[in-house]
Amino acid sequence: MATLETVRSFRDGEAFGADAFSPFITRTLYSTSVDTPKSRQCWTSFADIQNQRFAQEAARARAANDDRSVIKLYEEEVGRLQQQLNQAETDANEYNTLADERKGIAEAAEARAYFLRVENDRLRGLLTQRGGTDPDAQILIPDTYDELPDWCDKNLAGRLMLVPRAARSVRGAPYDNPSLVYKALLMLAGVYRQMRLGLIGREAYEEELRSLELTESGSISSVRAGEQGEEYYVTYPSGSTRRRFLDIHVRKGTSYDPRHALRVYFFWDEETSQVVVGWLTSHLDTRKT
């Protein structure tokens, strides 16, 4: 229930108070009562009404053998359709302009994100040089999965991200060593990413894998992945329709018991220079599973 204080403090875009609340209520009532899928099925559009009127008048004129009236009606109809076409072209131009503006905003945001990643890497390098230790060594490793998505956002932002499907997959994850999952993600955001950027050799990365008793390999061939539907694909970036193949995984254990075998499926995003994790901690389906 809206109180006087609610109305006074209500904000919608740049509007504030009653000036914002009144249009909001109008839109809400309209969308929940009039503008519903069922009601839209019952509507007759204005264009349909015009078409029906034209057809009826043309039929009457033809029945009366009134050729002049028929010609006039068709000329008027052509004029009306031309106006609609002109308006559609105007609308399309406006939409294209808006799309260009949105694209410019998105590109500026991407450039800003790239700058922040570069600056973050530079600062991490300086900290390592001055302190002699990797800042990642100071990151606390939890022993439950409860914090994992937030932990990634806090500690690995710009270096590794979980797509929404991966964030959901850790809820109630069966693997019985959560700490190793955190360490694997930290390793991917650290030495694996440094290797992909050409800052260290593969030997250093493989040494880190061995220290965690992990191995890395391709997840599955693209042909076999196609046989599994969307299992090995994620939509990335978020909000797009682009499909990306989870072509790599790090793993531990050969058991198909999800409590004793770890899998982290990911791909390397060249555009943002970060690891994108699409699934953990269990096996994705193959012909064997």
Each residue's pLDDT tens digit, 132-144: 677 888 899 999 9
Q: Residue 161: which of 53, 286, 278, 31 has the closest Cα?
A: 278
- Domain segments of the chain: what residues? 1-30, 50-133, 136-281
Tell me the C-alpha distance between 42 and 49, whole Å: 13
Amino acid at 190: G
pLDDT at 4 over 70: no
Amino acid at 152: C
pLDDT at 56 over 90: no
pLDDT > 90 in the chain, percent: 36
Triad 162, 164, 166: Cα angle to 5°? 55
Please give the model's pTM, rounded to 2 decimal places: 0.60
pLDDT for position 245: 93
In tens, the pLDDT along 66-103 reads: 677 767 777 777 777 777 777 887 777 777 777 767 76
List residues bridging with 243 in a β-sheet: 235
Query: What's the mean pLDDT when you consider all of the chain?
Result: 80
Q: Residue 205: which of 217, 218, 194, 221 has the closest Cα?
A: 194
In tens, the pLDDT along 10-34 reads: 666 556 666 666 666 666 665 655 5
pLDDT top residue among 110 and 155: 155
> Could you give the 3-state DSSP secondary structure of residue 176?
coil
Q: How far is CA 14 from the centre of its chain?
A: 27
C-beta separation of 232 from 220 below 8 A = yes
> Could you give the 3-state DSSP secondary structure of residue 278?
strand
